[in-house]
Amino acid sequence: MILAITGHRPPKVGGYQIPNPVYEAVYQALDEGIMRLSPDHVIVGMSLGVDQWAAEICIRDGVPFTAAIPFDGYDVKWPPEARAHYRSLLNKAQTTMVITPGAPYHPSLLQVRNSWMCSRADALLAVWNGMPSGTSNCVRAARHYRKQVHMVDVPQNIWDEARAIELRNEGRTVGFQVGGHVEVTYLTSEGEVTVPAEALQAEVETEEERVRNAQHLEDLNRTGRQGRRRRNREVASEADVQAEPAANIMSDMAQIREALDRQIAEEAARLPDSVSPERVLRQEVVRERSKNAPEKVNEDLTPKRVIEIGED
């Protein structure tokens, strides 16, 4: 089985300071999920966070994996340590694939990468907190391709703690350090934690853009569904209006036929058994025609015919 793996970036799974309790719980759950599915091959997107943790597990357990890189220079904004670790993972991948080579950065390229992964895998394993994100986009892509989707079993209390850390980290402050190097200081319950800003900038911006894109796609889908439902109602209403006169005509014709059938049946019931209803009907027609024939014509023809015969 070919298994694609997707999951959140560090801000949603405990932050960049590793180890931490959320990281340890998620890493263990991811490890157990991969072991349970026992894939023959794995495809990972190589983002910071869950993607790279999955690559580490594959290397440790000897599972061949494909590194699906969304575009060239994906790691260009990462700090040196993160780039070095990324390169070491790529060197141990069985296959390295740049999904959109030569293209300039755009958030949509990450979704292109997700679609590529899901279209080539038999199933998807996701570390997802249930909220709109790039991970939710990948889950949606897998369902679009009718692939099995498996969720890593992360306890709810871990997700709650991860969300609390994320909210605390939103109180970060930015300051310039020696040499103009920008660092980000997180105000946490443990005190201040400082991280190089380069490790966060691309990840935070990308995640926010992916959430906006996901919301935009959902709005478009909702608008499309509402438009289709409205049009279906209009078409149904038009069909009802057009069908109503025809239905009335058919009903009137049916009533006329029923009345004629009853009249014929009543007339036939009054006739002797030896008299044919068809014969009676013909006689009635003849009588009606005789009544409607002009009497003047008969009067003119009869004397004239007599005179002509007498002269001969």
CA 163 to chain centre: 28
Q: What is the DSSP letter of 210?
A: H
Per 3-state DSSP, the chain is made up of helix, strand and coil in percentages (nearest 5) of: 60, 15, 25
Rg (CA), the chain: 42
Q: Is the CB of residue 68 less than 8 Å from the CB of residue 46?
A: yes
Strand 148-151 relative to strand 173-176, pairing: unpaired
Report the pLDDT value the prediction gives residue 211, as an integer from 0 to 100: 56
Whole-number pLDDT of residue 118: 96
pLDDT digits (tens, 9 = 90+) for 231-281: 677 666 666 555 556 566 666 677 777 777 777 677 666 665 555 555 666
Residue 47 predicted with pLDDT over 70: yes
Three-state SS for 122?
A: coil
* Mean pLDDT, residues 213-242: 65
Q: Which of 16-20, 223-227, 305-309 has the highest mean pLDDT?
A: 16-20
Q: Exposure string (b/e) for 272-304, b if CB count within 10 Å is 16 or more?
A: eeeeeeeeeeeeeeeeeeeeeeeeeeeeeeeee
Q: What is the mean pLDDT of the chain?
A: 77
Q: Is the pLDDT higher at 148 or at 239? A: 148
Question: Residue 164: helix, strand or coil by DSSP?
Answer: helix
Instruction: State how far the Cα of 130 lies from the Cα of 159, in Å rounded to an integer.
Output: 10
pLDDT digits 0-9 by tens, 97-138: 999 999 888 888 999 999 999 999 999 999 999 999 999 999
Question: What predicted TM-score, i.e. pTM, was given to this entire model?
Answer: 0.57
pLDDT for the residue 125: 97
CA distance 141 to 23: 26
Q: Please give the pLDDT value at position 300.
A: 47
Higher pLDDT, 295 or 153: 153
CA-CA distance, 123 to 152, in Å (whole number)? 13
Distance CA 272, CA 160 (A): 96
Indicate if the pLDDT at residue 307 is higher than 70.
no
- Residues 161, 245: Cα–Cα separation, whole Å: 66
Residue owning tokens 């201040």: 192
Burial annotation 203-230 (CB, 10 A radius, 16+ → b, else e): bbebbeebbebbeeeeeeeeeeeeeeee
